[in-house]
Structure 1
């Protein structure tokens, strides 16, 4: 369809630790390989620890491209990933978020902690407010995201989610389904909508 978007880069939110389930690391590595094999670039937080490092290493190991975006104060704490195709050091978290938003055509949340949850919920919020139509996907490895999905359902039932259709998030339990799901969803987004609103991120 003319004017429809093609997926080029995907932003992945995930933990800077491995987590307790070996399936988390395995999924991160598999996702990185799938990105490389499908010529999809990885946009992520720029660290080399935990699931972040696992997905980035896998992309590079299989000939793909990695765009790491990391704030100055996390360079040492998250062990900056020096194998990245492009490594951007930002002044703060706000600049990091804006650059990751601008460079990505879609978003995937692997298992992670508070930071992963915050970034995912922020994208859901912006989508609900109509600030972008980029696909958002939860990689529900081992049912990791089921509690959050239950909370979202409860919010919807209680009348606190408005324009819920705009959120349009996807859930995949099998990591093999992530790329085809994103490709199908991204094909429905126009180039204009893909660009989103670059003023979405608040500046301090």
Structure 2
């Protein structure tokens, strides 16, 4: 696939905050699948990242990789940010990948609730809304129970800021966990999150001026 040019708006925002911007390209489903597979093997925390099938990736809206294929992110057709990975070669690359995902329709995600991961998503304007306990039945085959325990899975909604504003406001967002609602299953927690998004969209439509 060809190179992908980061928008001038994002470049200006990165420059304003003195954040390094990495070159990104769009990838084919096969390229993305292979790249995330290599990263999961090379990264000791690879179990935290889900590698979907080539068929699943072929149905997604966007597949972004760094030019060397060591890091990437995928966005589904309904705005779910998935398969965020870094093979460890590029420090700070997520500061490019997450705003890029937001700019291209990413507005929700979920993750194993490690302190590092959850704290990272807070920096980009994501708000936690629901969670579910770790289910041993669905634990990744390569999960390190001794080191990582059994963290909840947390579901997030982005606050709606533009990708440029996310860069400018990086690390300045206030996030509350007091309203996070717990559910018995992954599906229920995800459905609750998606219904909140539908409600937000409906309220935004009601506030649109009539011409």
Name the TM tier (shorter chain): 0.3 to 0.5
User: Of Structure 1 and Structure 2, which has the larger fraction of its residues in strand?
Assistant: 2
Structure with higher Rg: it is: 2
TM-score by length of 1: 0.37
